[in-house]
Amino acid sequence: MPLQTLTFAFATERGTPAALTEHRCKAAVPFGGKYRVIDFILANCLHSGLRQILVLTQYKSHSLHKHLRDGWSLFAAELGQFITPVPPQMRESSSWYAGAIDALRQNRYLIERSPARTLLLLDAGLIYRMDYAELVRFHREQGAGITCALRHAGGANLPAPMAVELADGARIVGLRPVRGEPADTNGEPPGCILEPLLGPAQADPMTSTAAYLATMGVVVIEKALLLEELDALAATAAATTEVTVGNLAVQLLAPLLERGRTDIAAYGFGGARGRVTPDRYWSDLGDTDAYFRANMDLLKADPPLDLYQPDWNIITYQGQYPPARTVPGPVSGNEGIFVNSMLAAGTVIRGGGVSHSVLYPQVQVDDRAIVDEAILCDGVQVGAGAEVRRCICDKDVVISPGAQIGVDRAADAARFEVSPNGIVVVRKGQRV
């Protein structure tokens, strides 16, 4: 399997949240106290035995390239293994990638010269854990030309613009737009193979709408089929709209379904197959509130995303920093404290108090400062007596002594971006 499967990880788009992608692409956004978003799909590849990975990059990619170099230079080239960033090569024209389909078209030569017979296409801007080896194995068991991993959407789950309809167990037979009306589960008939894999659709108690099935940014496709379809797909995409990573699966499926192709399989995400605990966690970090909520969820006693599964650790770059510690404040003598929080290496709390927060490496919290429900990225400094609540501070932010963030919404809105749920975002390097 490792030599017969070539993986494309799409990290070409700026993505969201906008305030955190001003200087980096979505795949390079910090997450969970020490990771970058792309670490999750790369860890999935590593644990799944897939060691031939091309990372397609474009938007402000330096941060991502540096992270791949520092954190992921662990594959053995002499064994045919690689993680290689591939910015637009401009072999045929001087254009950048015009969406996901065009990115594949521009790198057709890499596909053609690869000995792999199967391609795994991944959105690098998502957070989830998945055993891709089991997905590829299922794809081959089904004799499929293309297999899409599916998740529950709508209802109590994140919505999606298109619903997937199934028949005969795990065969995809249609797509339909979702326009906000209560969704049914006609794509998941009784006895469907996805019922035990995905579990029953959960209704949202607030809206009483049922979940439906949607693609989730994971596609397996036979190389011969993709090469056969690529030029036509690129022409269609150019004539309509740019194909983003998020709707790549739909763009691949639509023409095949129109021609009545029957070898289109569906794989249930979070099922019994595979070696990952079936937590069924999937997040697209779609906006500031979703990003904040996803990080805060990690602080729950039983978090929805398990970072602690011993045989499925998430790899990342870690600087050689000293251990995190708390010390008494130099003036007040108060002990530095933290409650229900994540503290990365190099963090020092000097007489301040930190609760329900995620602190990245080398964060400094000074005497009598209060940090509550906050995400402080690398190198953030919180001055003495400052108060920081319900806030996201990007790298190298300096908060002056006595400053307040997240206390007065009107004052915050005049200085910073404030989300609909009141989450304040302080941009990279800003002094407050």
Maximum separation of any 2 CA atoms in the chain, in Å: 75
User: Which residue from 374, 359, 373 is spatially nearest to 326, judged by alpha carbons?
Assistant: 359
What's the sign of the alpha-carbon dihedral 124, 128, 134, 140? negative
Residues, the chain, total?
432
The pTM of the full predicted model, rounded to 2 decimals, is 0.91
Pairwise CA distance, residues 43 & 147, whole Å: 21
Pairwise CA distance, residues 353 & 360, whole Å: 16
CATH top-level class of 325-426: mainly beta
Residue that is written with structure tokens 């996901």 in the block: 100
Q: Which CATH number fits domain 5-297: 3.90.550.10, 3.40.50.720, 1.10.357.10, 3.40.30.10?
A: 3.90.550.10
The reply to whether 325-426 shares the fold of 5-297 is no
pLDDT at 157: 83
pLDDT at 243: 65
Q: Which amino acid is at 316?
A: T
pLDDT at 1: 64
Per the CB < 8 A criterion, the answer to whether 401 and 432 are in contact is no
pLDDT at 279: 79
Pairwise CA distance, residues 379 & 254, whole Å: 46
Peptide bond into 17 cis (omega under 30): yes
Residue that is written with structure tokens 């602190």 in the block: 359
What's the sign of the alpha-carbon dihedral 34, 36, 37, 38? negative
pLDDT at 259: 87
pLDDT at 238: 58
DSSP per residue, 51-112:
-EEEEEE-TT-HHHHHHHHHH---S-GGGT-EEEEE----SSSS----BHHHHHHHTHHHHH
pLDDT block averages, 10 residues each, the chain of length 432: 87 92 96 97 96 96 96 89 92 84 92 95 96 95 94 85 86 86 40 43 44 92 93 70 76 89 90 78 94 96 91 92 96 95 97 98 97 98 98 97 96 95 96 95
Burial 263-294 (b: 16+ CB within 10 A, else e): ebbbbbbbbebbebebebbbbbbbbbebbbeb
User: Which residue from 57, 80, 77, 78 is spatially nearest to 67, judged by alpha carbons?
Assistant: 57
Give domain limits for the chain: 5-297, 325-426
